[in-house]
Structure 1
Amino acid sequence: MDNSKRTVVVTGFGPFGEHTVNASWIAVQELKKLGLGSEVDLHVSEVPVEYQTVQSLVPSLWKKHHPQLVVHVGVSGMATTVTLEKCGRNHGYKGLDNSSFCPDSQCCIVGGPDCINSVIDMESVCKRVTSSGLGVAVSVSKDAGRGGAGLRWRGSVGAAPLQDNGICVISPTTRLCT
């Protein structure tokens, strides 16, 4: 790898529930094809919807690539805008994953802080996207939820050096790939 390049890791989710193909992973694969320019070393990874895999895979991506930025892409049937997540919560993970597992502690990291915030100014990012003329509706959320996306975000921010260079983006399922 060229040391002058910035390293960016982007993840999307694998299949879950009735979704045999996850639109977040399709979008991430399209981004890989397009690239982020010659100055960015882009790495993409599909993340299975499994608590234990998330807890090992996401930190391993940080260790392997030493990225300046990690972007986790998810989808939501409830979202009406592209949502930038500001905070990953530690408690309240109650849903079963693809392997029918849920942590007994219902925590991402036992004994960890309840919330870790990204220092990326999501409000500024939202304003820049909104004023860009792209016609994309964007909002900021202070809670990435308690499903796989929240766990992935929380685990990533917890694994990040200085805990400050991760971002989670949740897209509405109806418009992600259009």
Structure 2
Amino acid sequence: MILLTGFEPFGGETTNPSWTAAEAASGILQGEGHAVAAVELPCVFGQSIAVLEDALRRHNPELVICVGQAGGRPRISLERVAINCDDARIPDNAGNRPVDEEVVAGGPAAYFSSLPVKAALEALRTAGIPAEVSQTAGTYVCNHIFYALMHSLSTGIGAPATRGGFIHVPYETRQVPQGSGTPSLPAPVMAEALAVVVRTALATTSDVKLSAGTVH
């Protein structure tokens, strides 16, 4: 079983490409014979974790990919690390705005993704999809759920060998005013990107050595 999650709209938007892409990718993968569940998460600190953990218990997946919107980024971002810090620049959809709070009290400072992010990067580039390995998932609800996912898997929620991680997607093309220059990708491209990552993760037991770091 594969679990894909995306978020509801936030910040005044009427759509969230993370959910659009996750839902569409689940259809692509189901058409290829995979068992897939797609779950929409609330863009709310704490509540999003409860919904995710319920999905982990119900579906007992072998692979979990959570997806979020990173408006302004030009590429699919394969997130490498989640940090134990909530520091919200804007309120979430319930009006919460934690500042310098731990995602999990007393938890480790950080968790690394257990997805083969370098192999996925290589596969995305081969498919002609713009992608990068990102060293930060921010400090908003995306990082919150990424950290919570990895903490949940490390503490036994889900199947024993479950792997998981987080992907940020850009704005969807229809969100961006024509001619604005704001980076975006079409929804079908983002859905296929998620499917590529899933296929790569299922076929890859150890990641490849590939330079994908940054200077700053």
TM range (shorter): 0.7 to 0.9
Shift, 1:164, TM fit? 6.2
Match of 1:65 among 30, 36, 59: 59
Decide which moves more: 158-167 or 92-101: 158-167
CA pair 164-34 structure 1, distance change in 2 beyond 3 A: closer
**Of Structure 1 and Structure 2, which has the larger fraction of its residues in strand?**
1
Which residues of 2 match residues 154-173 of structure 1 at below 5 A?
A: 154-160=147-153, 161=156, 165-173=163-171
Aligned to 1:4: none
- Computed over aligned residues only, the root mean square deviation of the Cα atoms, in angstroms, reads 2.0
Aligned structure 1 segments of 4 or more residues deviating by more than 6 angstroms: none
Distance across 1 between alignment mates of 2:186 and 2:161 = 28
1:84 aligns with 2:84: no
Once the two structures are superposed, what CA deviation does each residue of 1:22-70 show, in whole Å capped at 9, x if it has no partner?
1211122222333344542100011110002112111221111111111
Match for residue 126 of structure 1? Answer: 121
Are 2:138 and 1:140 equivalent residues in the alignment?
A: no
Identity, % of aligned pairs?
A: 22
- Distance in 2 separating the partners of 1:119 and 1:26: 24
Displacement of 1:176 in angstroms is 4.4
2:111 maps to what in 1? 116
The size of the alignment, in residue pairs, is: 170
**AA in 2 matched with 1:172:** P
TM-score using structure 1 length = 0.86
In 2, Cα distance between the equivalents of 1:46 and 1:38? 22
Conserved in 2, the CA contact under 8 Å of 1:94 and 1:106? no
- The match for 1:177 is 187
